[in-house]
Amino acid sequence: MENSLKMDRIRDRQNRSWDGMFYSNQRLDLLIVSISGAGIYVCLETIKYLSDKFQDINLLISISGGLFLFGIITNFISQIANYQSNYDGYLMCDYKLDNDENKSDFNEDKIKHHKSKSEKYSKRTGIFNYISAGFMLFGLFFMMFYFLFIF
């Protein structure tokens, strides 16, 4: 009885940790898009200000804006890969449920196929998330360098 209660608490904590992972990932995506969008706005406003004052536009501010833009684009690609991973995971579960009711080689092949695709897209999602965060961080770094030392 006591062991069963302990196992239930571990499963509950595991479920909360699983939910927390996805919540954290969603928050990170929102932060990347928000910060990159704000960075693009700051870069464009700076370019507009410098143009109005007939001053040269430093390449660093343009690079920063481009990095922010690529951060948003790669985050969008990451969302597409995440959708595909979840879709294939859903299909895999569907075939597993069918296989419990009616075992067949066809279902087993489909389970393996969709599991493989889901894992592949899940890896791509992670890679694109890191790339997106990297673009955002480098954009912030270059923009801050520009405003601290050049502007």
pLDDT at 94: 85
Task: Answer yes or no: is 114 within a domain.
Answer: yes
Residue 27 lies in a domain: no
Per-residue pLDDT tens digits for 85-95: 989 988 888 88
Q: pTM for the full model?
A: 0.83
Residue 145 lies in a domain: yes
Residue type, 8: D
In a domain, 57, yes or no: yes
With CA atoms as reference, report the closest residue to 86 among 119, 42, 130. 119
63 closest CA partner among 149, 139, 145, 144: 139
75 confidence band (pLDDT: 50, 70, 90): very high
> How confident is the model over 128-137, as a mean pLDDT?
97
Has residue 111 been placed in a domain? yes
Measure Cα distances from 132 to 28, 30, 128 in Å.
10, 12, 6
CA distance 57 to 86: 44
Q: What is the pLDDT of residue 135?
A: 98
Domain membership of residue 20 (yes or no) is no
Domain count, the chain: 1
Domain holding 143, by residue range, is 33-150
What confidence category does residue 131 fall into, taking pLDDT thresholds of 50, 70 and 90? very high
Find the distance separating the first CA and the last CA of the chain, reported in whole Å. 69
